[in-house]
Amino acid sequence: MTISIEKTISPKKKPDSNSLGFGRHFTDHMFIMNYTEGTGWHDARIVPFGDIPMSPASMVFHYGQEMFEGLKAYKSSTGGFRLFRPDKNIERMNSTNDRLCIPRVNPEDALQAIEELVSIDRDWIPDQPGTSLYIRPFIFATDAFLGVHASKTYMFMIILCPVGSYYAAGLNPIKICVEDEYVRAVRGGTGYAKVGGNYAASLIAQKKAEEKGYAQVLWLDGIEHKYIDEVGAMNVFCVIDGEVITPALEGNILPGVTRDSVITFLRTKGYKVTERRIGIEEVYNAAEKGSLEEMFGCGTAAVISPVGTLDWNGKIVNINNDRIGKISGLLYYNLTGIQYGTVKDEFGWSREVK
């Protein structure tokens, strides 16, 4: 694919890498490509970061035909950068596209777009420990039309943000509120896909949790409100009596790239990892008996985030005395080590771009 490049004539001042937070600062350039029925994807270009003109009738504003992805670039010691399993994000991008009737993107073109854009803005990749460049590819419907149908035109864009930790707590254990009223996804819905609408539907519970002092919500299944699904922006794992347990992929949770990496890494190291349904009662019973050794969430933005407190309708449990557990620590060290290139990558996950 040929990507035309227009460089900015007014580069922005870069933020202080000690206080990046998440998702606040954007780099100098962005990638855009259009889709037109009959022509396919065309006009791939990298242009200065900025606003885009849109018709107020664009279908994305009315029916939410939109998807997004999230991955990171890590500065490598050799001056280049590393991407972590970008093929998995691109595969998930196309699985989401299928669900939303958005045309697929050629995986090689998507990877090329990511790599060229990050290369152009490589000076924006922060190098403080725990920082990286977050890559946000997204696609949305652009037909100016109010009938409820799949659009015939789309835009695929990629923007980049230098980021620190997603949670203010960093690697410290976070407080999570179990959501009993609202649901995020149901089987047959879009829970397994990365669509903006899932997050829009989650905001009310997230707001309620934040008002009570919690970082995020733990979603229960949409049918019985009995089984744990995932946390707002991450998949979740429990360690009970030495066994690592995570909800199985049954269509309602996001198949996280980090989740898959955690499972593969731990199994390779000899841990017993089980993918199955886990009742919230089972988690509370284990906590009462003292056999809930650890609980943690994982995701691209959240990395590995130990859970220190759970609140389910006012029933509060403290996990591992609010400390970072052995398995959470091991995973954090090894996964981030592979991502930054400081730990040997025996899995072939880290892709170095010079």
**Contact between 301 and ligand COI (CB under 6 A)?**
yes
**Contact between 233 and ligand COI (CB under 6 A)?**
yes
Smallest distance from ligand COI to CB 95, Å: 15
What are the strands, taking DSSP E only, across 189-302?
Answer: 216-220, 228-231, 235-240, 243-246, 273-275, 292-299
Residue 72: helix, strand or coil by DSSP?
Answer: strand
Distances (CA, A) of 291 to 239, 240, 282, 320: 8, 5, 11, 10
Smallest distance from ligand PLP to CB 292, Å: 21
Q: From the list ligand PLP, ligand COI, none, pick the one residue 257 interacts with, judged by a Cβ distance below 5 to 8 Å according to partner type.
A: ligand PLP
Q: From the list ligand COI, ligand PLP, none, pick the one residue 235 interacts with, judged by a Cβ distance below 5 to 8 Å according to partner type.
A: ligand PLP
Q: Which is nearer to ligand PLP, 65 or 258 (by Cβ)?
A: 258
Q: From the list ligand COI, ligand PLP, none, pick the one residue 205 interacts with, judged by a Cβ distance below 5 to 8 Å according to partner type.
A: none
Number of Cβ atoms within 10 Å of the Cβ of 70: 18
Instruction: List the one residue out of 275, 280, 268, 274 whose CA is nearest residue 224.
Output: 280
Smallest distance from ligand PLP to CB 191, Å: 8
Residues 234 and 292: their CA atoms lie apart, in Å, by 19
Measure CA 324 to chain center: 22
Segment contacting ligand COI (CB under 6 A): 174-182, 242-250, 294-302, 340-348? Answer: 294-302
Q: Which residues bind ligand PLP (CB under 6 A)?
A: 70, 230, 233-235, 254, 256-259, 299-300
Q: Which of 131, 151, 300, 328 binds ligand COI (CB under 6 A)?
A: 300
Residue where the block lists tokens 């029916």: 63
Q: Which is nearer to ligand PLP, 58 or 300 (by Cβ)?
A: 300
Contact yes or no for 153/143 (Cβ under 8 A): yes
Rg (CA), the chain: 21
Q: Which is nearer to ligand COI, 300 or 320 (by Cβ)?
A: 300
Instruction: List the one residue out of 232, 192, 30 whose CA is nearest residue 97.
Output: 192
Residue 206: helix, strand or coil by DSSP?
Answer: helix
- Letter for the amino acid at 2? T
Smallest distance from ligand COI to CB 55, Å: 27
Residues 178 and 205: their CA atoms lie apart, in Å, by 10
DSSP 8-state symbol, 241: T
Binding mask 50-79 toward ligand COI (x if CB under 6 A, else -) reads --------------------x---------
Smallest distance from ligand COI to CB 349, Å: 16
**Contact between 253 and ligand COI (CB under 6 A)?**
no
Query: Which residues here bind ligand COI, judged by CB under 6 A?
Result: 70, 233, 299-301
